[in-house]
Homo-oligomer: A and B are copies of this chain.
Amino acid sequence: MEKLPAKTVERLSEYRRTLINCKENGKEYIYSHELAQLHHKTAVQVRRDIMLMGFSGIQRKGYKVKEMIDAIGRILDCKNGQNVGIVGIGHLGTAILQYFTGKRPKLRVVAIFDVDEKKTGREINGVPCYHVDTIPEVVERENIDLGIITVPPKFAKETAEGLINAGIRGILNFTTVPLNVPEDVYLEEYDMITSLEKVAYFARG
């Protein structure tokens, strides 16, 4: 199936988060303009995204929340789910781990890796923590597809290489060290400083 535009994929993920919330609050239907307002987007944009993923609403009633959650799931989720490993379980790694637990059944954090012996060999937040040296075996055995890198900067490169050699398909990198990945590995990076500098720039007149 043809891939959707990256921007649409991002928004679908965001819409789903909101829809799950709506569902928990007992909301059955939602209008495009409601969803738009919650995301500071236009209603047209929302409808266009929904159209692109091949879902339909009911005129004058809006979109069925439950069905739309499922429709987004058919786009974003892999049928049998995808397994995730986090490397470097310090402040940021722990924040991510906690944030993830229980949120997305199809995106399972099944392993975390560190070098600190106070952390390895036990479970943190219900997830086993392994020594980084075991990345090859564990990634293979646990069928880990995606890696999140939250190690100190100077270990970022070797961590990425380790994950890639172990057969990972996608990386989310929070160290702000430039990484080189082969074509068939998808790389996403995020830097809070960039976000804050953007806020700083646009916040002043």
A200 to B, closest residue via Cβ? B82
Interface contact B193-A104, CB-CB below 8 Å: yes
Note all chain B residues with C-beta closer than 8 A to A6: 198, 202
Interface membership of A187, Cβ < 8 A: yes
Copies of this chain in the oligomer: 2
The residue from B3, B17, B76, B203 contacting A200, defined by CB atoms under 8 A apart: B76
Interface membership of A90, Cβ < 8 A: yes
Interface membership of A117, Cβ < 8 A: no
Pick the interface stretch among A7-15, A24-32, A43-51: A7-15
A40-B187, A104-B197, A197-B13 given; A99·B202 CB < 8 A? no
Interface contact A170-B203, CB-CB below 8 Å: yes
A38-B178, A84-B196, A95-B92 given; A76·B201 CB < 8 A? yes
Note all chain B residues with C-beta closer than 8 A to A98: 91
Interface membership of A55, Cβ < 8 A: no
A145-B203, A170-B199, A203-B186 given; A194·B103 CB < 8 A? no
Note all chain B residues with C-beta closer than 8 A to A13: 191, 193-194, 197-198
Q: How many residues of A contact B (CB 8 A)?
A: 56
Interface contact B146-A172, CB-CB below 8 Å: no
Bound-state CA distance A3–B171 (Å) is 33
Bound-state CA distance A200–B190 (Å) is 15
Interface contact A171-B186, CB-CB below 8 Å: no
The residue from B90, B148, B169, B204 contacting A203, defined by CB atoms under 8 A apart: B169
Note all chain B residues with C-beta closer than 8 A to A176: 17
The residue from B107, B148, B170, B198 contacting A188, defined by CB atoms under 8 A apart: B198
Q: Chain B nearest CB: distance from A145 CB in Å?
A: 6
